[in-house]
Structure 1
Amino acid sequence: MTASATTAPPALRTEPAAPPRARRRGRFGVHLFLGAVSLAFLAPLLLAVYASLRPYEETAKYGYFSFPRRLSFDYYRQAFIDSGMSKYFLNSLLIAVPGVLLTLFLASFVAFAVSRLRMRGGILLLMVFTAGNLLPQQVIVTPLYVLFNKIPLPYWMSDSLTMYDSLWAVIAVQTAFQLGFCVFVLAHFMRTLPQEILEAAIVDGAGVWTQFWRVTLPLCRPALAALGTLQFTWMYNDFLWGLVFLSDGDKLPVTSALNNLRGEFFTDYNLLAAGSVLVALPTVLVFLLLQRHFIAGLTLGASKG
């Protein structure tokens, strides 16, 4: 037997594995870095929670980073009652929930058309929807203000008989601005779905509506859940559009309720921190409820080539 026959081919040779100690050090370094980044993002929230549990007199005397002498939830009760936060919470939900559902519904239609149907100009249409997100919102505040004052609505939809000073105006603007991003994400996700599934549905006699509603859309649940979580957070936390298009103070979203906690000559920042934590609770709750679907939507396609 010759020497060449006993030598393993180069293709079969493998690099020596890293020693276990080196792998542990690398894993520890990654975890340390991720922990530091997470702490940096959580630090403002933790500081707000810490300040909201302490009296303002104590932090004014000893500082916000001092050891607490007394902790209580009095500021949370005071913030919820003094700002009338319950009605503002309802206003934000009346804006965010229909806005999210309408945005995802319309975006899924467009994404299905440009990604699954053989239509001309699909890529151009996708570029147009995506380009809409590049327009600064502040640029069209004045045109939209004039436009909404000229669009009539029946009395049961708006007290002002126009689209201005109604929740419909805020929902419409939120939907329009978030539609492009959702179309972009859903279109690229739908392109990763096996084409054979749609072809089998066509062979079975499925129409376009059946292909969309009963075949494609159920496969998009992780992506829809991830987008729904993001969209709810963005629409719920928005302050600009409610301030511009709503003149009635009773219709303002919950983000505006924090202004009711600010005094004319003195601001209790501990009370303001308690109000901020209360305002953030619904978005945290939505994320916790949809956490599994949200993470699945973010990691979709991670193992694809």
Structure 2
Amino acid sequence: MFPTPIQKRSPAAQIAYQSMLPLALLLWLLPLLAVMAFSARPDADFTTGNYWGWPSSFEGVANYTLVFTSEMPRYLLNSFLITIPTVIGTIALSCMTGFALGIYRFRGNILIFFMFIAGNFVPFQILMVPVRDLTIDLNLYDTRAGLILFHIAFQTGFCTLFMRNFIRQLPFPLIEAARVEGVAEWRIFVYVVLPLMKPAIAALSVLVFTFIWNDYFWAIVLTQGPDTQPVTAGITSFNSQFRAAYHLMSAGSIVAALPPVAMFFLMQRHFIAGLTLGAVK
């Protein structure tokens, strides 16, 4: 029923596995390696069509210096000012909604939970026009607050699904014991349930941080200009009217990818614990 572990397969299968794994890893990393190589090439290589040949010179330091002396620091700051409040707002709302839907039994519980789930299946591209018009009507267009509010609204559905299922796996006798002692419901949530949700909060924080940081679609739909645009949209500012500065865009992409990678490695232990907790008894 289950696949045979590679350690129990034939020697030929093990050799094939060990030889194909580095090749698969190389193919997976090839786009990233290409971007890293492009970030060290001079602009002349792109104008002459020398994309994959040996670089005429190595200009990595000059390219990254140009990136940091441009508007890139402002775009990075915008990304942090958008992503961090979004993560905090989304996690806070999903913890409360997950607690309400996972602990309490009331009429319409399943219907409300279904609405949270159904929102995840709506293609977000079809929301482009109404969301943009709504932000214009509320004077939130081309503001960081408008982008933050939209991301919180859109990510809360998935996070509520995650939190509700996580909370339902917690030992309910703890909550009953607190109620017998006369503890208020909000104190049960803050002092009993919330500490047990730390692995799930850490896992969701990494996921939401990555989702929002890497968002490009809504960044170009709801914002414009260096005052509000995050780094994913700001990278395109290196393009001019008639040509694209691929060396600077590649260097900017590497810089933009560093914060979520650092976030994952800092939270790796909690992230894995949050995803695997409850998988086995």
2:203 alignment counterpart: 226
1:11 alignment counterpart: none
Please list the CA deviations of residues 130-178 of structure 1 after superposition, one character each: whole Å capped at 9, or x if unmatched: 1111122222222223322333xxxxxxxxxx22232111111101111
CA drift of 1:95 comes to 0.9
Residue aligned with 1:73, SS? helix
| 2:67 aligned to which of 71, 79, 87 | 79
CA drift of 1:118 comes to 2.2
Please list the CA deviations of residues 77-109 of structure 1 after superposition, one character each: whole Å capped at 9, or x if unmatched: 112223x11111111111111011101100111
Contact conserved, 1:79 with 1:275, CA < 8 A, in 2? Answer: yes
Contact conserved, 2:42 with 2:57, CA < 8 A, in 1? Answer: no
Please list the CA deviations of residues 31-75 of structure 1 after superposition, one character each: whole Å capped at 9, or x if unmatched: 666655444332211221122123243575654264886463221
For 1:29 and 1:202, the matched residues in 2 are separated by 59
Aligned partner letter, 2:208: Q
1:180 alignment counterpart: 157
| 1:190 aligned to which of 163, 167, 173 | 167
Residue aligned with 1:165, SS? coil
TM-score (norm. length: structure 1): 0.81
Residue aligned with 2:60, SS? coil
Closer, same or farther: CA 170–21 of 1 in aligned 2, 3 Å: closer
For 2:50 and 2:220, the matched residues in 1 are separated by 37
1:211 alignment counterpart: 188
Contact conserved, 2:94 with 2:156, CA < 8 A, in 1? Answer: yes
1:290 alignment counterpart: 267
Unaligned ranges ≥5, structure 1: 1-17, 152-161
CA drift of 1:224 comes to 1.0
Give the number of aligned pairs.
275
1:164 alignment counterpart: 141
CA drift of 1:127 comes to 0.9
Unaligned ranges ≥5, structure 2: none
TM-score (norm. length: structure 2): 0.87
For 1:249 and 1:179, the matched residues in 2 are separated by 27
Which sits farther off after the overlay, 23-32 or 264-273? 23-32
CA drift of 1:302 comes to 2.4
2:99 alignment counterpart: 112
Closer, same or farther: CA 94–194 of 1 in aligned 2, 3 Å: same
Contact conserved, 1:113 with 1:119, CA < 8 A, in 2? Answer: no
Closer, same or farther: CA 105–66 of 1 in aligned 2, 3 Å: same
Q: State percent identity of aligned pairs.
A: 37
Closer, same or farther: CA 92–106 of 1 in aligned 2, 3 Å: same
Q: Which has the larger radius of gyration?
A: 1
CA drift of 1:23 comes to 5.9
